[in-house]
């Protein structure tokens, strides 16, 4: 199965990423140079089987994106997923007290998406099923894992967007971000991947 040849990129066709053949031949020389320059391999001689993914072909300003969390209410129940052969419906994220009882049915879905800042694109990267509450530290850890994975493939995450529901305020409090009626707003915290950058909420 084809994968991307850019350094540090682990995107495959199974990941839902589009992979492109690098232009070959004399008639495509200038286009090939641009593509190879974008991935930092200017002297690379690609074969016909070499591919580049859509992420590697983006311009530097197109790599800035926002991480978004949205919550949706679900009707509790079980559903069989034939593609994975699993039954869905139980909560996958601990409750606010840190426990995950075996009889806890999902009543809410947390959908985590990435969206472009300079270009229009949006992609769902994760979802979690929760009960009537969710453990703030677990959600914070999910954010950090996704941010680090994005930064590893050169997608810059400087902004996280959520609504200001009680669940999300608990997560932001762990990041040190506080907005309240009787306090001075603090809307950023140190970036998990770079001490010289701020993560803005």
DSSP 142-173: HHHHHHHHHHHTT-EEEEEE----HHHHHHHH
Tokens 């001490």 locate to: 195
The model scores a pTM over 0.75: no
All structural domains of the chain with their residue ranges: 13-57, 62-200
Backbone angles phi, psi at 152, to 5 degrees: -65, -25
Q: Report d(CA 162, CA 165) in Å as an integer.
A: 8
First to last CA, the chain: 38
Task: Render each residue's pLDDT in the chain as its tens digit; 201 residues.
Answer: 567 777 777 666 666 677 777 777 778 778 878 877 777 777 777 777 777 777 677 777 888 889 999 999 999 988 998 988 988 889 989 998 988 888 889 999 999 999 988 888 888 999 999 998 899 999 999 999 999 988 887 788 888 898 888 888 888 898 888 887 888 888 888 888 888 888 887
How much is the pLDDT for 113?
94
CA–CA separation, 126 and 142 (whole Å):
9
State both tokens at 14: 């199974």
pLDDT in tens, 161-176: 988 888 888 888 988 8
- Rounded Cα distance, 179 and 187, in Å: 7
């Amino acid at each position: 199965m084809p994968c991307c040849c850019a350094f540090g990129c682990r995107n495959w066709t199974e990941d839902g990423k589009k992979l492109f053949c690098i232009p070959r031949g004399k008639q495509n020389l200038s286009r090939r140079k641009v593509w190879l320059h974008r991935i930092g391999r200017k002297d690379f001689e690609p074969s016909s089987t070499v591919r580049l993914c859509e992420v590697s072909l983006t311009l530097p300003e197109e790599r800035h994106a926002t991480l978004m969390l949205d919550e949706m209410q679900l009707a509790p129940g079980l559903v069989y997923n034939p593609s994975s052969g699993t039954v869905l419906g139980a909560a996958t994220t601990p409750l606010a007290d840190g426990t995950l009882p075996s009889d806890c049915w999902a009543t809410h879905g947390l959908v985590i998406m990435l969206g472009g800042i300079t270009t229009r694109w949006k992609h769902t990267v994760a979802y979690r099923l929760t009960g009537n509450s969710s453990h703030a530290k677990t959600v914070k850890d999910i954010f950090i894992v996704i941010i680090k994975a994005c930064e590893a493939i050169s997608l810059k995450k400087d902004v996280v967007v959520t609504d200001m529901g009680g669940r999300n305020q608990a997560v932001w409090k762990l990041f040190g971000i506080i907005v309240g009626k009787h306090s001075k707003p603090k809307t950023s915290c140190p970036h998990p991947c770079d001490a010289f950058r701020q993560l803005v909420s």
